[in-house]
Amino acid sequence: MKLTSRERIMRIFQNKEIDRPGFKLWGANLGDYLLHPAYRPVRDLAIEKTDLFIGYGAPFHIYCGQRWQEQVEVYDKDTEHPTWKERHVIFHTPKGDLHSVDRISTVGEPSYTVEYMIKEPEDIDKLLSMEYEPFEFDLEGFFERQAEVGDRGVVLFGLDHAAYALQRLTGSETLAYFTVDCRDKVHEAISVFSARIREHLKKVLSAGVTGPFEWVGPELFIPPLLSPQDFMDFVYRYDKPLCDDIHNAGGYVWVHCHGKVANFIEHFINMGVDILNPLEPPKNGDIDLEAAIAKYQNRIGWEGNIEIQEILQASPERLKELIEKCVDAGSKSGRFILCPSAGYMEYPFPDERYISNLLLYLEYGYECVERCRKN
């Protein structure tokens, strides 16, 4: 059996027999964007060796739709450090302004939030008072992207996440207080956002797109940030109908959830997730891939299990050992994709070890998945 990359990945979504495990470098993309020139050989080798996952999203703004230009003010301020600036965002709502401040790197470092938009329960009322009007719908770019990728991989249609949309504005600490002090308001906001996403999805499905669809966000609603019950109330309750909509239209679902997910795999399966990423091992996560696959087998697609920190820091010998062990365990499911736990091009100043280990991951990872090929 010899499958194209697209056929292989789609059959993992569909729980059908494959020729060998999938192989992915998260963030590998067609095009010439490079955060640093040192990434060029990595990007080129990834395009040659891996199954490509390309993201796409139609215009969508979960808080006010295409009315955002009328209601959202954004401006930057210089800081005392030339490589950082302050980005101020103001939501002008009928019930009063909401204001956030982010510290933004001018050289590609990760940004961080200095001041969150929502600070008090009544701020949720302000947020939901904003006028919302969906964007005019156009999927021409999606089909162009599919044609560009062809048999080299799949295009994942990105959707926002209702629970994450609230957490982005509150931060995890305030959200945790809200789940105790004003749980009804948390539900109200997530319910409104969920309805907007499902309406957006309905248009996508009506246009003939069956995905696969992708989203991130559940990781903000599992321990230690929130409780298992919070996951069920604020993620499962709203995401399952979304998964049902997608499956009823013949589509598939890819979900990203960092952290310790071992106790949530059954919930993700019942929710309707077809592939779960990134399955982090200890210490960041708690996935023993061998044990997890022995328990759940091929009931879900497995993607990941190589921590990005190992590619950053490990010796070549250790990295090869981890890759070999991971592929050996994952291949037993018949639904496995070898993948790091984060995008490879998220470090603006990669050192020699990181680039060398990325190239090793690509060469040896490909060798290991090819050893599993069925004749």
Whole-number average pLDDT of the chain: 96
Q: List, for residues 158-214, the tens digit of each pLDDT value.
A: 999 999 999 999 999 999 999 999 999 999 999 999 999 999 999 999 999 988 999
Number of Cβ within a 10 Å radius of residue 251: 20
Cβ partners under 8 Å of residue 206, min gap 6: none
Domain boundaries, the chain: 5-66+121-371, 67-120
Helix (H) or strand (E) holding 210: none
Whether 128 contacts 182, CB under 8 Å:
no
| pLDDT more than 90, % of the chain | 94
Q: How far is CA 38 from CA 31, 74, 78, 288, in A?
A: 16, 33, 29, 33
Comparing CA positions, the residue from 5, 4, 14 lying closest to residue 254 is 14
Q: How confident is the model at residue 285 (pLDDT cuts 50, 70, 90)?
A: very high
Helix (H) or strand (E) holding 108: none
Burial label for 250, CB within 10 Å (0-12, 13-18, 19+), is exposed
Residue 330 is predicted with a pLDDT of 98
Q: How confident is the model at residue 375 (pLDDT cuts 50, 70, 90)?
A: confident
Edge to edge, the sheet with strand 112-115 lists 72-78, 84-93, 96-105, 112-115
pTM, full prediction: 0.96
Architecture in CATH of 5-66+121-371: Alpha-Beta Barrel (3.20)
Comparing CA positions, the residue from 130, 204, 215, 223 lying closest to residue 169 is 130
Q: How confident is the model at residue 1 (pLDDT cuts 50, 70, 90)?
A: confident
Whether 314 contacts 283, CB under 8 Å:
no
Q: How far apart are CA 370 and CA 2, in angstroms?
A: 11
Q: Which amino acid is at 215?
A: W
Q: List, for residues 112-148, the tens digit of each pLDDT value.
A: 999 999 999 999 999 999 999 999 888 888 999 999 9
| pLDDT more than 70, % of the chain | 100
Comparing CA positions, the residue from 250, 270, 62, 25 lying closest to residue 159 is 62
Position of tokens 């957490």? 167
Q: How far apart are CA 261 and CA 225, in angstroms?
A: 13
Q: How far apart are CA 111 and CA 145, in angstroms?
A: 28
